[in-house]
Amino acid sequence: MNVASKIWKNGEMIDWDDARIHIMSHVVHYGSSVFEGIRCYKTANGSAVFRLREHIQRLFNSAKIYRMDAKFTVDEICDATVELVRDSGLEECYIRPLIIRGLNEDKPAFGVNPFPNPIDSYIAVWQWGKYLGEEALETGIDVCVSSWTRITSNSLPSMAKAGANYMNSQLIKMEAILGGFSEGIALDDRGYVSEGSGENLFLVNDGKLITPPLGAAILPGITRDTVIQIARELGIEVVETTVQRAALYLADELFFTGTAAEITPIRSVDRITVGAGKRGEVTKRLQEEFFKIIRNERPAPKNAPWLTFLKEQKTVAA
């Protein structure tokens, strides 16, 4: 694994090998972390981080829900991210900002009450290939509906990207892998379709995009929002509504979205072939636009500033 030599910790650059925590840190025992996953892509004008601000804003939203004060501003974390990625020398990478409840070794506290524990902020970057496999983007993947129910929002709020939520994701993922599938889709506590272990989900029916609403205990995915905006720009209708499990089997097309998964087609659910059993036309179209935007080959919808370049772009004098 190609990792950066430095990690940003509480405002300082430290060596990757020194980014260690005490076993009695609060986060290890009680899952008290919030984090992000962001990608930096190579473009013809140099490397650029995709939707950096939106990701860091979601990190701060997650921290707010859990009453964690990062002691830095969104701008400061954005700037630190750019500096770290630039110094890493990696042209393309995955970025992991993380806020945890640690341990004050001078005044240790080991109980559930998180307030006595210090808040530590980190950013790590490394090179990460295609999350669901190189071929997946073209051929699609086989998935199952999980026997595990997605976390409910009044026990673990799905609006927060919290480490603890991923115990639920791990149950979903392990069951899928052991059953011979690439990924699992969880239903929410009402039995409606929610999301994958680390991806949002879209159906295509009669040329329309359908996706579960935020109320279905999903993470408000930034790729989900990206796809919705691209689709609307292309004149594709997008409907956020509850989805029954059986509708997955009957969809014309189905795909996952996520920073790691990007836009990954799904070719079967529970061994029932979806549509033609390969990437559909709408999925392909959305992928094409998505990849053009992240590679700076076309502007984002409404010219939104979705790319943060590592190097200031030189503006050509008119």
Active-site amino acid positions: 161
H-run or E-run covering 309: strand 307-309
Is residue 46 a contact residue for ligand PMP (CB under 6 A)? no
What is the smallest separation between the CB atom of 109 and ligand PMP, expressed in angstroms? Answer: 30
Instruction: Select from 9, 16, 31, 37 the one that contacts ligand PMP (CB under 6 A).
Output: 37
- Residue 260 carries which side chain, given as an amino acid letter? A
Q: By C-beta, is 113 or 241 nearer to ligand PMP? A: 241
Q: By C-beta, is 198 or 275 nearer to ligand PMP? A: 198
Is residue 198 a contact residue for ligand PMP (CB under 6 A)? yes
Contact range with ligand PMP by CB under 6 A, out of 67-75, 194-202, 233-241, 299-307: 194-202
Is residue 26 a contact residue for ligand PMP (CB under 6 A)? no
Q: By C-beta, is 163 or 280 nearer to ligand PMP? A: 163
Q: Which residue has the tokens 């630190």?
A: 80
Q: By C-beta, is 140 or 184 nearer to ligand PMP? A: 184
Q: By C-beta, is 103 or 294 nearer to ligand PMP? A: 294
The Cα–Cα gap between 135 and 141 comes to: 9
Contact range with ligand PMP by CB under 6 A, out of 217-225, 247-255, 272-280, 296-304: 217-225
Tokens of 300: 């984002």
Site for ligand PMP in 218-237 (CB under 6 A): 219, 221-224
What is the smallest separation between the CB atom of 137 and ligand PMP, expressed in angstroms? Answer: 15
CB atoms within 10 A of CB 75: 10
The Cα–Cα gap between 183 and 201 comes to: 12
**3 state SS for 137-204:** HHHCEEEEEEEEECCCCCCCCCCCCECCHHHHHHHHHHHHHHCCCCEEEEECCCCCEEEECCCEEEEE
Contact range with ligand PMP by CB under 6 A, out of 5-13, 16-24, 61-69, 197-205: 197-205
Give ∠ CA 128-134-139 in degrees, rounded to 5. Answer: 145
Site for ligand PMP in 251-310 (CB under 6 A): 257-259
Tokens of 38: 């962001």
H-run or E-run covering 26: helix 26-30
**Selection from 202, 193, 190, 203 nearest residue 172 by Cα:** 193
| Residues found near ligand PMP in the complex (CB under 6 A) | 37, 169, 195, 198-200, 219, 221-224, 257-259
